[in-house]
Amino acid sequence: MQYSATLVPTIPSGVAEALSLPDISLPTFEKNTVGVLRYSLVKKRINYSQEQEMQILLHLLQRKCWYLYQHSLRVQYLASHLAHSLCLSCMEISAIELAALLHDTGKILLSDDILQKSGKLTQQEFEEVKKHSVTGARLLREMRMPEEIISLVYHHHERWDGLGYPDGIAGDTIPVGARIITVCDAFDAMTSHRPYHHASTPAQALAQLQCCAGTQFDPLLINRFCTLPLFSLPSVVYSADVDLNNSVNMIPSISDG
């Protein structure tokens, strides 16, 4: 996958400094039977240093915005279920699970004024938010993560009709993993409580996804997503107000296994 020339392999100094701190206090990510990333496969191309940097990125996201951290756990969980239902290869599923977990790490560099704003964003503020997919991919490239994972983070806001960002590509030219993350990202956003909107019920969110099938979303993925047994999944999928002690086990130990 070729990226736009806007994706340059540089990393802002603030994050670079954080990534260089060996004694930063990290949360403990324990393995769970639900939504476990297949690191035994992905780790063939990820070294110990990269694993530590991924933990730090997640910790920075947690400190930056509690909601975004929990949102990332839920998107990873949903994306894993959707990817498995499509019978993709183990390597493809591994990349999708990891990219879903890291898809919003570019928002670490957004100002708190924008990230915590309770009202509607201005056009200028929205343009700043739109940079997060490029920023997240840039961070992962600096960590020398596998290109397919970088690609999924970079493209997770593209639209089926070509009206998304950052590159405005359309249809099957969007990596399937990015299309999966887009669907799961939207579903979780709609079913989460935020200062600027009330949470939709899962049924309402599914109806909205179906309305946007063929324009914003891949229609085949929407059909498959709507058949997933969502109501049998843990309540963490539907609530942004979960306690970290109950949600942190959704992430396996990056340095284990």
Is 129 within the bounds of a domain?
yes
Give, in order, the Cα–Cα distances in Å from 192 to each of 70, 74, 201: 10, 10, 9
Six token digits for residue 252: 């396996």
Q: Which of 249, 255, 257 is nearest to 48 (CA)?
A: 255
Residue 27 CA, distance from chain mean position: 19
Please tell me the distance from the alpha carbon of residue 239 to that of residue 233, in angstroms, as a whole number: 12
Q: Which of 99, 112, 103 is nearest to 38 (CA)?
A: 99
Is 133 within the bounds of a domain?
yes
Is 178 within the bounds of a domain?
yes
- In b/e form, how buried is each residue of 183-195, taking b as 16+ CB within 10 angstroms? bbbbbbbbbbeee
Return the residue matching tokens 């390597």. Answer: 91
Is 108 within the bounds of a domain?
yes
Structural domain for 191, as ranges: 45-236
Is 251 within the bounds of a domain?
no
Is 119 within the bounds of a domain?
yes
Highest-confidence segment of 17-21, 23-27, 245-249? 17-21
Range in 146-150, 155-159, 199-203, 226-230 the model is least confident about: 226-230
Residue 57 pLDDT: 85
pLDDT above 50: residue 62: yes
Question: No. of H helices and E strands in the chain?
Answer: 13, 0
Share of the chain above pLDDT 90, in %: 44
Segment 135-190, tens digit of pLDDT: 999 999 988 888 999 999 999 999 999 999 999 999 999 999 999 999 999 999 99
Residue, of 49 and 180, whose pLDDT is higher: 180
Q: What is the CATH number of the domain that holds 202?
A: 1.10.3210.10
Number of domains in the chain: 1
Give, in order, the Cα–Cα distances in Å from 71 to each of 74, 182, 228: 5, 13, 19
Judge whether 153 and 102 are in contact, CB under 8 Å.
Answer: yes
Is 241 within the bounds of a domain?
no
